[in-house]
Structure 1
């Protein structure tokens, strides 16, 4: 437990820094590293991925709160849009936890590998969302937000990499899209975390210090450092050649995807 806790402190520092520097969710780094860490420590194979996803999602609760407050002070959050997407986001997040509980650990791992590869390609090629020509209908808003909540909860991410392109496509300015995605990340993480905690409460194979599928030592270790390093990363983003760094970072994503394939 001590080794995992100390490793999680380091992971939180790196994950927070990368999240702030590249504008990505920390789950992109946290989930695959936790999976490798849990597997190395002998956690039951079928629980490795779902515990990694659940623990990552739990850490996003605190980082989302800090992020939302920062964006709100800047006046960037369009709360009417957040409220419109909220019901679908929460329903999808709850469903995502249930789906993750029912599918095999290997299937969940493949889903995350595909996500890592997709994000790696996006960052390597510098692909950016392009504005569309119309506003989405209420039905489309609800359906897409439900799907995004489901995928975010299933992957253990805040959802920004999914929500921002959708909003930008429908003419939301990038500054507001990022702020709205941050605000939507809070209900995703809260509902998903509660779902994973409840669904795993009767699982007998769970290691000690687990709250459902959430591994508390890793959760504490990650939030202890990620909340401090994320703002540092955001400041460095204005000083470093982030476009070039993103290409290097994409190589790391490909390596982690390969590692998850063969771990």
Structure 2
């Protein structure tokens, strides 16, 4: 009976996994098949022309990269610092548990709510205007709960004996965290941070209210100005353009570039994890 139950459970899991993989391959295959023909050097290195019906997506690529960098600069120090305090210093009281529960609940808040909050706080409250900086700060807030949670989980995996050994040889708590705990937890921290940033790179709703534009004839992307981004560019080409059928191949090409950007970020996270596991082995 136990063997039959185990076979049914494993069979169900394999069936669900297989169905997900099939649909995923169909979607990715469709995007590659329709987007690859427009994927040329000119497409990724030139400005859009002729009412967005020709040319490339260079400003959108630069805007997405700069937006991701700003998000990392904003979210990483605060997220990692908060996780270190909660896991290493904060006492296990009801207030600490409430903070942890609030952080996990913030991870489930729809991204459009973060966009409205960023509009109220950064664009209007702090008079930063619709700009790359406002959008980066907004995505930084969106990424904070994920970075805090993954960092805290990485710190929890470090055995207590590591901390006790450092304290036993005369190190302070700060020194034991800096020299022993953080280096051991760094792969897990970096993995969670990269995954959070890859999610932020594909968000549309938060940047919709805080600074993204349909077309900017400036590929450099100044911090205090509006910018282009791949997710919003894809949305506009797919749903709002006056010549949707004409720009449909460009939309598929943009989607393929965005998938490649997210894939590269995720590959970095898995590579970090693999190298750490190999070094431990």
TM-score w.r.t. length of structure 1: 0.30
TM-score w.r.t. the length of structure 2 is 0.29
Computing the radius of gyration from Cα coordinates, the structure with the larger value is 2
